[in-house]
Amino acid sequence: MGKRFETEILHGGKKSNSKIVSKVTPIYQTSAFAFKDLEELEGFYHGNGQYLYSRVGNPNTDELGEAVARLEGAPAGVASSSGLSAILAGVLAVVKNGDHIIAADDLYGGSFLMLKEELNQFGIETTFVSFKNLEDVEKEIKENTKLLYTESITNPLLRVEDIKGVVELARKHQLTTLVDNTFATPYHCQPYPMGIDLVVHSATKYIGGHSDVTIGVLTGREDLVASARAKIVNLGTNVSPFEAWLTCRGLKTLALRMRAQSGNAKKLAEALSHNTFVEKVYYPFEQEEEGFGAMVTIELSKTVDTNHFFSSLEWIKIAPTLAGVETTVSHPLTTSHRSLPQEACEALGITKEVVRISVGIEHAEDIIAQFEKAIEKSI
């Protein structure tokens, strides 16, 4: 063998063969990359090398950031450990101690909590205001305001943001904009070509699409993404190569999934809007003929026992997340928005009766029948 057993285990394999060409990108499941000598290592720090350490960069994580950026029509993208860490990186690329953020008051609860509690400890102030009337947003702008932050489709009440209006307001006051495009995905909406500076995704949701990763992606202006990338590296919020590889695999079917799920969602929303025991259906019917997103939120009538409704759904799972290929439901008041103050939930209309539905790729008639059956059993 030429080497003793313990050494042969580690170093007895064949060297990689560059003639082997994989149909898909291999998984670079490595913590670090090797160099032939110190000169090559030093070259990395002078811009002559691509990879050093997987926290700093990896072919799989780079592939994902670049792929989502292309779909968003943006020049740059970077992946991180979760949607929330991607939001954090984007925010910190813009603001610092002493700066002020204006955020929509109907954001995802995790985003609300990070802005209100965590960033406040570092001297970054956030004002939450309704973006329904941008004149109200303009009134909150101060000398130290740096960032406007909202969602293209809000969670959970599915308000469609006036992105063009937000861009006009930001440009008028020289502010940077950040939009969470998780619900719409680039299949339905591309905020960057509309003038938004940074676009973020919880890629855990529709980008990955199969409920098997936790990952985020930030895309947008090259200078801001470069700054965000540095935050991800220095704060250690990078994502593993395998998670990135799985997300790239899921991304390939995004159009197919969104077409099927959005079509099913529109059919479900239409059916439930005619149900006597559904007080209100939240769905942006007016946006596109084929539907606008795969989320439907309903407010059950008070004659329906909400607890019994959830337990009567049979094959539809209760989950504190969304966007897998299977239809699931969640209860925003006690999951995604439980961190919001009670008065804030009440003002937004997030009550015990509100149910958020993530519509899957099952047959639409089966999905509709399941919800109608659960409602009927819970009256």
Average pLDDT over residues 363-376: 98
Q: Give the pLDDT band of residue 341 (cuts 50, 70, 90).
A: confident
Q: Give the pLDDT band of residue 340 (cuts 50, 70, 90).
A: confident
Least confident of 109-123, 145-159, 256-270, 338-352: 338-352
- Please tell me which of 47-51, 154-158, 355-359 the model is most confident about, judged by mean pLDDT: 355-359
Average pLDDT over residues 71-97: 98
The pLDDT assigned to 291 comes to 67
The pLDDT assigned to 339 comes to 72
More confident residue, 1 or 258: 258
Residue 342 has pLDDT above 90, yes or no: no
Domains defined for the chain, CATH in brackets: 38-251 (3.40.640.10), 254-377 (3.90.1150.10)
The pLDDT assigned to 18 comes to 66
Q: Give the pLDDT band of residue 346 (cuts 50, 70, 90).
A: confident
The pLDDT assigned to 12 comes to 67
Q: Give the pLDDT band of residue 143 (cuts 50, 70, 90).
A: very high
Residue 36 has pLDDT above 80, yes or no: yes
Q: Give the pLDDT band of residue 289 (cuts 50, 70, 90).
A: low
More confident residue, 311 or 286: 311
Q: Give the pLDDT band of residue 10 (cuts 50, 70, 90).
A: low
Q: Give the pLDDT band of residue 2 (cuts 50, 70, 90).
A: low
In the chain, the percentage of residues whose pLDDT exceeds 90 is 85
Residue 137: exposure state from Cβ atoms within 10 A (0-12, 13-18, ≥19): buried
The pLDDT assigned to 49 comes to 87
The pLDDT assigned to 21 comes to 86
Secondary structure of the chain as H, E, C letters: CCCCHHHHHHHCCCCCCCCCCCCCCCCCCCCECCCCCHHHHHHHCCCCCCCCECCCCCHHHHHHHHHHHHHHCCCEEEEECCHHHHHHHHHHCCCCCCCEEEEECCCCHHHHHHHHHHHHHHCCEEEEECCCCHHHHHHCCCCCEEEEEEECECCCCCCECCHHHHHHHHHHCCCEEEEECCCCHHHHCCCHHHCCCEEEEECCCCCCCCCCCCCEEEEECHHHHHHHHHHHHHHCCCCCHHHHHHHHHHHCCHHHHHHHHHHHHHHHHHHHCCCCCEEEEECCCCCCCCCCCCEEEEEECCCCCHHHHHHCCCCCEECCCCCCCCCEEECHHHCCCCCCCHHHHHHHCCCCCEEEEECCCCCHHHHHHHHHHHHHHCC
Q: Give the pLDDT band of residue 88 (cuts 50, 70, 90).
A: very high
The pLDDT assigned to 230 comes to 98
Residue 336 has pLDDT above 80, yes or no: no
What does the pLDDT look like over 312-332, one tens digit per residue?
999 999 999 999 999 999 999
What does the pLDDT look like over 194-240, one tens digit per residue?
999 999 999 999 999 999 999 999 999 999 999 999 999 999 999 99
The pLDDT assigned to 15 comes to 62
Q: Give the pLDDT band of residue 338 (cuts 50, 70, 90).
A: confident
